Structure 1
Amino acid sequence: MRVAVVVFPGSNCDRDMHHVLSEFGMSPEYRWHEDGIPGGTDAVVLPGGFSYADRLRAGAIASHSPVMDDVRRLADDGVPVLGVCNGFQILAEAGLLPGALVSNDEPGFMCRWTEVVVGSTGTPFTSRFSGGDVLGIPVANGEGRYHADERTVRELEDAGRIVFRYAGDLNGSAGSIAGVCSEGGNVVGMMPHPERAAEPDVCPPGAAPMAPLFESLRAAAAA
C-alpha cells in the first residue's frame, strides 16, 4: 500500500508517521508540498507540525500549497486522506473538512496524554475500533480547539461524522470534538497524534491504543 506523507515547511511529525506506517506493513513515501502526488497512491497523510510557523492561522498558508490540488482530487475520488494535528488544521482551512481549529481555552502549548472516545467506525481509519472505545492518546498543540456553530455540530452528530471526542472538556472544543470526517467518510482529521500511540514501546505499559487506526488503513487497501 503506497501512502503519500506530505511534507510542508515546518512539518515535524512526518518521520514519526513514516516510521509507524512502515511498521504496519505499508509503503510510505515523502511528498514535498511543491510536488505532485503520483498515480497509484492508495492513501494520503498530512502529518503534524507547524507549517509555515503557523503564520496567519495554523494551516492557512499550507492549505494553498500546490500539493493540495492533488489532495483535493484524491479526496474527491474516495482515496483515504488523514490529517493529524496541523494536518487537520490544513484540511479545515482547505475546506475539505467542516469547522475550524482555534486557540485552546487554556493559553499556551498543550502537550499531554488524554483520552478520546471512538464515534464513527465507518471510515478507512476506524473500522477496526468499536464505537464507544475509550483510548489513551497524546495531544500537542496550541490551536486545537474545534470550533463550529451549533447547527454544524448537530449535523455532524446526526450524520455520524464525529470520529473522536475527548472523554472530558480538554480544551473547549465544540461538542468535545477531537476528530471529524467528510461526508464520504474517506477524509478524516484529528488533533491527537495516533502515530505516538501505536507501538507498545512508546505507550503506557502493555498498551498500543491507536494500532487499530493503522490496521484499519491497511485493511482498507486490501478490501
Structure 2
Amino acid sequence: MHAAVLVFPGSNCDRDLAVAFEKSGAKVSMVWHKDAALPAGVDIVGVPGGFSYGDYLRCGAIAANSPICGALKTHVERGGYALGICNGFQVLTETHLLPGALRRNAGIKYICDTVELQVATADSAFTSGYTKDAVINVPIAHHDGNYFADDETLARLEGEDRIAFTYAKNPNGSVRDIAGILSENRRVLGMMPHPERALEATHGNTDGVAMFRALMDTMATA
C-alpha cells in the first residue's frame, strides 16, 4: 500500500498519520499543499488533523481550495481511497467529497478526551477489522466537530449504511451521534476522532490498530 499524507500550513497530525500508515506496512509519501499532483501509484490519501491555514473562514475551507486538493478530488473520482481525520474530515466536507458540515461544538468549547465509539458498520475497508456494534476507545481533540446534515442526507447515509462510527456519549452535539461517515462507494472515510492516536499501549490503547491493518489487507487483495 502506498499512502500519501497531505500537509497544509497548520497541520499538526501529519506525522502521526504517516507513522500509523508506516506501522501497518505502507510506503508513505508526504505531500505539500502547493503540489498539484500526487506521487505515482498512491492507493490512499490521508488528510490529517490540525488547523489548516489557521482555520480561517471555516475549518478546512481554504485547504479545500489548495492545489493538492484538486489532485485529491481526481484521485477519489477515479476510485481511490481517502481517509480524513478531524480537520481532514472538515476538508473532505468542504471539497464536497463527503456530505454535510462540521460546526462549532454544542458546548462552544474545545474538547480533548478519549471517547467511546460504536462501530456502526463493518462493511468498508476502514472498518472491516471491527465487529459491527463493537465499542472502541478513540481520542478526540476538536473545537468544530459537531456534524450536521439535512434530513434527506441523513436518511440517505442511514439507508445506505454509510455511517461508520457513532458516539456512545455524544461530546459535541453531532446530529444522530455521528462520528464518521463513508462516501457512496465506501472508499472515503471522514471521522472526527483520531485512530492514529490509538496505536500503542503506552499511549493509552490500541483500538485504532485494526483500522490501519484492515486497510493494508484490503490493498493487498485489491
TM-score of the alignment, normalized to the shorter chain, above 0.5: yes
The Cα offsets for residues 139-198 of structure 1, whole Å up to 9 and x where unpaired, read as 000000001112211211111000000012221101100000100000100000000012
Q: Which amino acid aligns with 1:183?
A: E
The Cα offsets for residues 103-152 of structure 1, whole Å up to 9 and x where unpaired, read as 00112211001011011222221111111010001100000000111221
- What SS does the corresponding residue of 1:184 show, helix, strand or coil? coil
**RMSD over aligned Cα, in angstroms?**
0.9
Q: How many residue pairs align between the two structures?
A: 220
In 2, Cα distance between equivalents of 1:8 and 1:49: 9
In 1, Cα distance between equivalents of 2:170 and 2:50: 23
8 Å CA contact 1:140, 1:192 repeated in 2: yes
2:19 is equivalent to residue 19 of structure 1:
yes
2:45 is equivalent to residue 29 of structure 1:
no
8 Å CA contact 2:139, 2:197 repeated in 1: yes
Q: Which amino acid aligns with 1:208?
A: T
Partner of 1:220: 218
- What SS does the corresponding residue of 2:6 show, helix, strand or coil? strand
8 Å CA contact 1:80, 1:124 repeated in 2: no
Matched ranges for 1:113-192 at <5 A: 113-192=114-193
- What SS does the corresponding residue of 1:168 show, helix, strand or coil? coil
Partner of 1:210: 208
With the length of structure 2 as denominator, give the TM-score of the two structures.
Answer: 0.97
In 1, Cα distance between equivalents of 2:77 and 2:50: 25
Partner of 2:64: 63
The Cα offsets for residues 13-69 of structure 1, whole Å up to 9 and x where unpaired, read as 001111121112111110001112022111110000000110001000000011111
Q: CA deviation at 1:73?
A: 1.1
Q: Which amino acid aligns with 2:84?
A: G
**Between 90-99 and 119-128, the greater mean CA deviation after superposition:** 119-128
The Cα offsets for residues 67-98 of structure 1, whole Å up to 9 and x where unpaired, read as 11111111112211000000000000000000
Percent of aligned positions with the same letter in both sequences? 44
2:74 is equivalent to residue 90 of structure 1:
no
- What SS does the corresponding residue of 1:163 show, helix, strand or coil? strand
8 Å CA contact 2:115, 2:139 repeated in 1: yes
**Between 17-26 and 210-219, the greater mean CA deviation after superposition:** 17-26
Runs of 4+ in 1 over 3 A off after TM superposition: none
Q: List gaps (5 residues or longer) in structure 2.
A: none
**Between 22-31 and 179-188, the greater mean CA deviation after superposition:** 22-31
In 2, Cα distance between equivalents of 1:69 and 1:166: 32
In 2, Cα distance between equivalents of 1:119 and 1:18: 26
8 Å CA contact 2:29, 2:39 repeated in 1: no
